[in-house]
Amino acid sequence: MHRRTALSVSAALLVAAPLLSACSGQARPGTAAVVGGERITTSALQAQVNDVRAAQNRSGQAAAELIAQTPNLERQKLDSILQSRVIDKMARTAGVTATEKEVEEERRSYVTENKGDEQFEALLLQKGAISPGQAERFLTNQVLLAKLTAKYGNGKLEEPARAAAKALDIEVNPRYGAWDVQQVKLGAGDTPWILQRTAPEQPAPAGA
């Protein structure tokens, strides 16, 4: 199997199907998104971004390259959070869970196939902009998606994903883009007024 060595974005397993209704863009100040009536705050999102930037800066000579590869890190991390919420909802509906033991076994498999913890964490950071502290969420997603695939069948997650996403009624603050209902991910959106008034995120100095 090549599942563990070629890290895949969770959304790829949800496939390109119309999953979520268009967001209203009426998020309150300090809110990055609202999912199932629950706020994802901008501070919580920024904490994830900071974790990734700190991990990138610890990467020595590779730091500058890693930072340059993730110019839209805020959007990327919010996209990951939203996908995880959709997966969680699908799992609840299907009655499947990811136990601590299963997540730990998943980690051991990745570590073994990537020849060590350090190499596994480096791969997560390089391929998915996932810090070591965010690895557990990634692993949990993989366990849940494997169980969902086993329940519904290969390539048959579209309908349960659509139902889960509609139930969550996701709204995204337009500063982070617009939810693309076809691709199940955040797109750049069409917000020239934000581009005029909001300076783009500046990469942290490599030596910070």
pLDDT (tens place) for every residue of the chain, 208 residues total: 445 544 443 444 343 332 322 333 444 679 999 999 999 999 999 999 999 999 999 999 899 999 999 999 999 999 999 989 989 999 999 999 999 999 999 999 999 999 999 999 999 999 999 999 999 999 999 999 999 999 999 989 988 888 888 888 888 999 998 776 556 667 665 544 333 333 334 444 444 4
What whole-number distance in Å separates Cα of residue 160 and Cα of residue 134? 26
Cβ within 8 Å of residue 65, ≥6 positions away:
none
- Three-state DSSP state, 154: coil
- List the one residue out of 208, 206, 197, 207 whose CA is nearest residue 67: 206
Task: Please state the pTM of the whole predicted model.
Answer: 0.78
E strands within 3-112? 31-35, 38-41
